[in-house]
Amino acid sequence: MNKNILITGGAGFIGSHVVRLFVTKYPNYKIVNLDALTYAGNLENLKDIDQSPNYYFEKVNILDADKIESVFKKHGITDVIHLAAESHVDRSIVSPLDFVYTNIIGTVNLLNVARHLWKEDYSNHLFYHVSTDEVYGALGKEGLFTETTPYHPNSPYSASKASSDHFVRAYAETYHMQTVISNCSNNYGPFHFPEKLIPLFINNIITKKPLPVYGDGLYTRDWLFVKDHALAIDLVFHQGKVDDTYNIGGFNEWTNIDLIKLLCKLMDEKLNRAPCESEQLITYVKDRPGHDRRYAIDATKINKELGWHPTVTFEQGLAETIDWFLANQEWLNNITSGAYANYYESMYTNR
């Protein structure tokens, strides 16, 4: 069946992988990438597919409900995969309201337009909301987040994503819209914006800048290669149970410091540097306020129900990521020479 899918946030990190996958795998679908091109949105991420006949781009802010409605009508949108968001925890600590606007109000705007235009027959339409494991809060040493773990967001970012998840569920209950939500663990891979841990540290290792480790470095994250997340989104979109939730993760927990040491080792090998040279760049800095100790996803449900599992090991994914950043330093330079440079200055000076 033909579909006209609106993918929001398609110029961002994960969104660009989802757009690429759908544009190339489903030539019969029309893929409309709606993105405001904030600091995190970059059309360079899609230049390999942006001439495809089934790809369209609309520069629209999801705070503008009228423009969203025009895009729905212009392209006859049948389904939404919603990724647009303010996504960086550290920025949410500095500017929580930006997260309320985009993540909560922007999501409700999209839901309202979809509700209004699809109301004749919701059964032919799906609103897929892409969310994060951070809505569940922090874990202690034991346990994993399942789909029934109570929400307990701790940062303005996760609070705004939790709220948007609740709205999506509420629209399914109240208006009988067909929705689905997935909550994924930390992603890494090509096109990752270099203010998040892995791309920031790759960039700093290349340029021999300090590697700022927050607190004691023993915080734990569960890392998933971004292309495996995109494949999971494809599966959930096509085969997921309507009005259900799927946790996505690779059972791949690392303390920050162990991950950073592995990254240093792999980068030293790639850059022909002396063993342990880059580890000398590790610098412990002041901790992030409200820093969640540990995230870890139980991905049993998506594995059993939809047959999804990661296609690459962490070592393979990390090697591909490092190779990509080394081969795409112009992409990196274009970002780090722009507005991001000011952000970096303000975050890490005097930390």
Residue type present at position 160: S
CA atoms within 13 A on the CB side of 70: 9
Query: Does residue 133 have an active-site annotation?
Result: yes
Identify the residue among 197, 230, 296, 335 touching ligand TYD (CB under 6 A): 197
> Judged by CB under 6 A, which stretch of 55-63, 175-183, 210-218, 263-271 contacts ligand TYD?
210-218
Q: Applying CB under 6 A, which part among 196-204, 236-244, 263-271, 310-318 lies near ligand TYD? A: 196-204
Our finding on whether 18 is near ligand TYD (CB under 6 A) is no
Which residue stretch of 40-48, 146-154, 195-203, 242-250 sits at the interface with ligand TYD (rule: CB under 6 A)?
A: 195-203
Rounded Cα gap, residues 92 and 208, in angstroms: 28
Report which residue type is found at 98.
D
Catalytic entry in 58, 79, 133, 165: 133
Of positions 23, 113, 114, 200, contacts ligand TYD by CB under 6 A: 200
d(CA 212, CA 344): 11
- Residue 220 binds to ligand NAD (criterion: CB under 6 A): no
Query: Of 78, 70, 60, 69, whose CA–CA distance to 9 is shortest?
Result: 60
The three-class DSSP label of residue 36 is: coil
Q: Between β-strands 253-255 and 220-225, what pairing exists: parallel, antiparallel or unpaired?
A: antiparallel
SS3 content of the chain, % helix, strand, coil (to 5): 45, 15, 35
157 has catalytic annotation: yes
**Contact call for residue 99 and ligand TYD (CB under 6 A):** no
Binding letters toward ligand NAD, positions 64-103, x by CB under 6 A: -------------------xxxxx--------------x-
Please state, in angstroms and rounded to a whole number, the distance separating the CA atoms of residues 60 and 8: 9
Q: How is residue 41 annotated by DSSP?
A: -
Q: Whole-number minimum distance, CB 28 to ligand NAD, in Å?
A: 25
Question: Is residue 256 part of the contact set for ligand TYD (CB under 6 A)?
Answer: yes
Q: How far apart are CA 103 and CA 90, in angstroms?
A: 15
Q: Which entry of ligand TYD, ligand NAD, none binds 265, CB below 5 to 8 A by partner kind?
A: none
Q: Which is nearer to ligand NAD, 170 or 281 (CB)?
A: 170
Residue 310 in contact with ligand NAD, rule: CB under 6 A: no
